[in-house]
Copies of this chain bind each other. A is one copy, B any other.
Amino acid sequence: MRGPTFYQLHLLLDKHAGEQLGLIDLMGERVQTLGGVSIADPRHVAEVTTVPQPPNGVEEVPAMLSRLLEAHEIIIEKVRETITKTAGSRDDDTNDLLMSDVLRTNEIQVWFIAEHLLNIPVVRV
């Protein structure tokens, strides 16, 4: 995140990170409420995540933001699948959590990042 738009990206991604931490708390509590076990250790997360691993070292801003968009895409797709499942099984509480909190937060975040990238060639890794 460097160059002449550094400070506004710093503010924007700070806000995004805070919102994602809020979602992680809500989803972790929901997993526990349903009798599951939330995972938090980075090695557990590393085993199950389907978001592609970033390269080592520094990335250019557009490449980094392009990967961020891709990660949102993967998450939104999975959330939409899970909404279908929770609607089918009448797990109304999880259903509402995914629609009202997880999906809406992620879609609006996509918009902010995508607007920033406009007129900048998007880099797919």
Interface residues of A (CB under 8 A from B): 1-12, 21, 29, 32-33, 37, 41-46, 49, 53-54, 56-58, 80, 83, 90, 92-93, 95-97, 99-100, 103-104, 107-108, 110-112, 115-116, 118-120
**CB distance A92 to B96 under 8 Å?**
no
A14 and chain B: residue at smallest CB distance: B25
Tell me the smallest distance from the CB of A44 to a CB of chain B, in Å: 8
A110 CB contact (under 8 Å) in B4, B33, B95: B33
Q: How far is the CA of A57 from the CA of B41 in the complex (A)?
A: 12
> Which residues of B sit under 8 angstroms from A29, Cβ to Cβ?
108, 111
Chain A at the B interface: SS class = helix
Contact flag A107-B93 (CB < 8 Å), given A43-B46, A43-B53: yes
Chain B, residue nearest A58 (CB): B37
A65 to B70, CA, bound (A): 31
Residue of B8, B57, B96, B107 touching A104 (CB-CB under 8 A): B96
Q: Specify which chain B residues have a CB less than 8 angstroms from the CB of A104 in the assembled complex.
A: 93, 96-97
Bound together, the chains give a CA A42 to CA B99 distance in angstroms of: 26
